[in-house]
Amino acid sequence: MNLFTAPEVIKNYAAAGKKKTELSVFRMLVLGILAGMFIALGAAVTNTAAHTIADVSTARIICGLLFPAGLSLVILMGGELFTGNCLISISVLEKETTTGMMLKNWLFVYIGNFIGSIIVAAGCAYFGQMNYSGGGLAVFTMKLAATKASLPMGNAIVLGFFCNVLVCFAVLCSLEAKDVTGRIVGTFLPIASFVICGFEHSVANMYYIPAGIFASHVPAYAAKAAEAGLDLSMLTWGNFLIKNLIPVTIGNILGGVFVGASMWLGHVYRQKK
């Protein structure tokens, strides 16, 4: 068979998760920065492709088809992505590593993801990438960012939960394959599904909202937003952190740990009895 079974994947990930926690802080940061850039670039692609599409369904489908490139790069290039690393909970349950080591990995990978995403967001906002459609891309970016920064906390947590359920299943599906094509295909459908549904991904939002904040500080883009009647009052770093990033991150953790625990209980724990 040209694939691993689900129980084999869980056992394989338990060992892989242990190796992730044993990376040096330097490597966690570097590989986290790369993963953050990959996801941010995928987010920039979706904004660029969808910013002139008025029909919501069509826009979501286009975004769903394009965004999975980011996670495919993370998986194929060995990046460290916080949301996927919530599966290290499998390694903890298998006693391959400790909760403390898992939390250390999460912290430094999260910081790396944030740095990588911010690099892309600033580059796109300040160096002309958002000039498409006479600045229309910048207006779209600011509008999307303001919408995300206005989410009620409960919505952000629940949408973050469902997002990372799909992201973590995408990671596990990709690990079932033994070839590059299979790994990409395994990644594609779950990621496309979360994007089409509009679920909330903390690392993607490290691009989406800062990109809007940075764009609002560009005078030409701010003028375009004013012409469009766009309210930018929600585009603050405080709203980004408190109303979106923190609750979405909590939801992502809950979703990732749910997947890790349920797959471990269903495929590994019972086999030990």
Please give the residue range of the domain that contains residue 129. Answer: 4-264
Please report, in angstroms and rounded to a whole number, the separation of the first and last CA atoms in the chain: 27
Residue stretches of the chain with pLDDT short of 50: 272-273
> Is 19 inside a domain boundary?
yes
Domains contained in the chain, number: 1
> Is 273 inside a domain boundary?
no
> Is 270 inside a domain boundary?
no
pTM to 2 decimals?
A: 0.96
Tallying the residues shown for the chain, one arrives at: 273
Q: Is 70 exposed, middle or buried (0-12, 13-18, 19+ CB in 10 A)?
A: buried
> Is 269 inside a domain boundary?
no
> Is 150 inside a domain boundary?
yes
What pLDDT is stored for residue 35 in this prediction?
Answer: 98
pLDDT tens sequence across 87-108: 999 999 999 999 999 999 999 9
> Is 271 inside a domain boundary?
no
Q: Which residues contact 175 (CB under 8 A, 6 or more apart)?
A: 4, 9, 12, 13, 183, 186
Query: Which domain CATH number covers 163?
Result: 1.20.1080.10
> Is 35 inside a domain boundary?
yes
- Per-position DSSP letters for the chain, written without gaps between them: --B--HHHHHHHHHHHHHHHHTS-HHHHHHHHHHHHHHHHHHHHHHHHHHTT---HHHHHHHHHHHTHHHHHHHHHHT---HHHHTTHHHHHHTTSS-HHHHHHHHHHHHHHHHHHHHHHHHHHHHTTGGGHHHHHHHHHHHHHHHHHTT--HHHHHHHHHHHHHHHHHHHHHHHHBSSHHHHHHHHHHHHHHHHHHT---HHHHHHHHHHHHHHHTSHHHHHHHHHTT---TT-SHHHIIIIIIHHHHHHHHHHHHHHHHHHHIIIIIHHH-
> Is 272 inside a domain boundary?
no
pLDDT tens sequence across 117-129: 999 999 999 999 9
